[in-house]
Amino acid sequence: MLTGSVLLRALRRIRARHVAIAAALLITPIVVLIAYSVVTLPLNGGLVIAPTPSALVIEAQDGRNFATRGVFKGGKLSSADLPEHLKAAVVAIEDRRFYEHAGIDPRGIVRAAWRNWQGGGTREGGSTITQQLARLMFLSPDQNLRRKIQEAVLAIWLERQIGKQDILLRYLNTAYFGAGAYGVDAAARRYFDKPTKDLSLAESAMLAGLVRAPSQLAPTRNLGGAKERADTVLRAMLASGAISAQQAADARAAPVSLRIPPETPPGTNYFVDVVEADTRRLIGVAAGDLTLRTTLDLELQRVAEGVIARRFDSEGAARKVSQVALVALAPDGAIKAMVGGRDYEASQFNRATQAKRQAGSAFKLFVYLAALQKGYTPQTSVLDEPTQIGDWEPQNASGRFRGRMPLRTAFAQSSNSVAAQLGNEAGIPAVIAMAKRLGVKSELPTVPSLALGSAEVTLLEMTRAYAVLATGNEAIEPHAIRAIQSEGQKALFTHVAPAPGPAGGLGESRAMMLDLLEAVVREGTGKSARLQHAPVGGKTGTTQDYRDAWFIGFTPELTVGVWLGNDDNSPMDKVTGGGLPAEIFRDFLTQAVPVLAKGKAPGATAQTTRTAPSIASVPGTADEGRASDARPQPAPVSGAGAVIRGVPEVLDTGTLLVAGEPLRLEGVASEGGAPARQLARFLRRREIECMTGQAAEVQRCQIDGEDLSEIIIAAGGARATPDAPANLLAAENQARSARVGIWRRQR
């Protein structure tokens, strides 16, 4: 019979056995997981940046950087290349106990877990710099328990193999800093265009703040966020004793500015794609980063984008047209502006270089040139009448025939009947030969309808053909790159203009063709393209059912091609080449001619990319200032040239109340709601000075010596009025391109 004590001992043995079994069941998987993690360590790993094309720094024609592409790898620095405040900044924000732990920091893990629990999400990481280096050197970025165990094991191993300074150095040479920059050397050059050793404390704090969230905080896309994070780094450095309060204050006061523009302006990406492809074609795969001097005129590019945006805003949807392309060529073939579509983010397909569309009557250039080479002249009498060539019976767009007329009139009025007859008489092979001679590279079918533009061609090759005719130089080629340099400023490529074409070129045929093209604009289907102070020649083109609309024309300075249509080839609402395309051409050249004449945007300095004060970012609450929805008609200030000063009250973005006088800002459209409230916050308690302009009902106002209208429009606070001065139209183009303010969600 069992006694109580014996029974108790038996129960204890059973309980101990169960506890041991339970512990074994609990510990064994952990031991197995740790063992498996150690066994599967990728000790032959290491951060490998996949082979990529060289990083490209892309300059406009005037040397201003406006875009970058590719991965910036930078050089491997030594400890002597790193300023002490950069090391201190990284340690303070990433791993304050870096010099005290042995690879992993239990206190840091507990602190991060506690703060994350308090914040209701992942707000702080517990990984040390050594763990981060282990991950960068050997592991994948996968978030799982095995990787965390491997990371800890490798961190302890790294601490035993190399010293702290070497760990920090390798980390800074390896970490990703956003905007394609791997390693601190690449980041310093990418953002500040300077060696790492020359970084200021403020710049070092900004770089140190990027490694936690490089894509989100990269100053090229989020300068405000990068500056806020840099301030957090300075506070951490101050708390750790790495810097003094005075040093922190001095760093906060020191301006940190990028030496390159923020991100590539969205509209220029079509051009940058062309540049990137041309670089590969010209020099192949190059080692190291490259600097490309291109042909792009940033002011003309902004003008093109602004003109197109305004036309589409007012007429695009109503006319059932969704896409556009524009190319502007200088007389030497340099591409000065390029628009490849309405929205690069939505579609990278370049409709200026890649889309092949029927050219319609714009193709008649080659037909008439072939006929002129056969002996026709602009005065030759031709008959616009029903015509049949085989089974084909071409019809005029109007459905009517006009009888006998001079060749000049037939071309100006774009007679299909006459073009078909000329193509048949000159011979379609001769028409094809003429098109190829002028630079058309697309396949052209030997069919009678080719005379009316039934072949599919690109806007760029058609614009090039018109440029050849305009300049008389058959050797010109469209090009986007003037020069390519390596990191060491070694010239890898320099564009050399080809020798002019054969002596005499097209001879008298060219002069006669120019006469015909000028007649189109003077008295024919292209009258909407006329300019007040510059001679223009060109040709309209419209395809069946209004699926494509073209205008290609030229002045002495530029040859410009414009195409409108829909990607799905659906019809537009009666959009012809003489309508919207010719109007876009006219609007573009109206602003482009003075830009070319002065070498800069009208009313602006060469540094037109300066950042205007951002109305939307001015601190303040929504009820600061006053922005009334009431919009009374302003009474004119007494006397032309009268000056009025005072603190304004905002009625809307275009109307202010100063000293009881309603003032109408020159060139600024009236916007209520949020834009007006933001303007009110910007102007709160600040005095402005206004002077009556030429028109007594509008005023030119200044704040702190700056044009208030230009500040508002450049910051995206309002649209420019149709009659706004050229400098305000340029400011609107800049705001649209940068998608700031009211243009932030515009496409």
> With DSSP H G I counted as helix, E B as strand and the rest as coil, what are the percentages for the chain, rounded to 5?
45, 15, 40
Q: Which of 94, 461, 518, 661 is catalytic?
A: 94
Q: How many whole angstroms from its chain centre is CA 163?
A: 44
Query: Which DSSP string do the residues of 331-353 spell out, in sequence order?
Result: TTSBEEEEE--S-TTT----TTT
Amino acid, single-letter form, for residue 88:
A
CB 209 within 8 Å of CB 93: yes
How far apart (Å, rounded) are the C-alpha atoms in residues 449 and 445? 9
Strands 548-554 and 688-692 come out as unpaired
Please give the C-alpha separations between residue 343 and each of 68, 323, 737, 747, in angstroms, as whole numbers: 19, 9, 11, 6
Q: Which of 456, 464, 458 minimizes the C-alpha distance to 480?
A: 464
Report which of 637, 638, 652 is spatially closest to residue 699, judged by C-alpha positions: 637
Q: Is 417 exposed, middle or buried (0-12, 13-18, 19+ CB in 10 A)?
A: buried
DSSP letter, residue 652: E
**Cα 720 to Cα 653, 658, 746, distances in angstroms:** 11, 22, 15
Q: Which of 37, 127, 200, 361 is catalytic?
A: 361
The residue to which tokens 């302003």 are assigned: 634
**Cβ atoms of 328 and 336 closer than 8 Å:** yes
Quickly list H helices, 472-543. Answer: 508-523
Write out the E strands in 393-471.
403-406, 456-457
Candidates 733, 746, 709; CA nearest to 588 is 733
Catalytic residue list contains 94:
yes
Whats the size of the chain, residue-wise?
Answer: 747
The answer to whether 86 and 207 have CB atoms below 8 angstroms apart is yes
Q: Do 563 and 458 touch, CB atoms closer than 8 A?
A: no
Tokens of 548: 């494509």
Residues with catalytic function = 94, 361
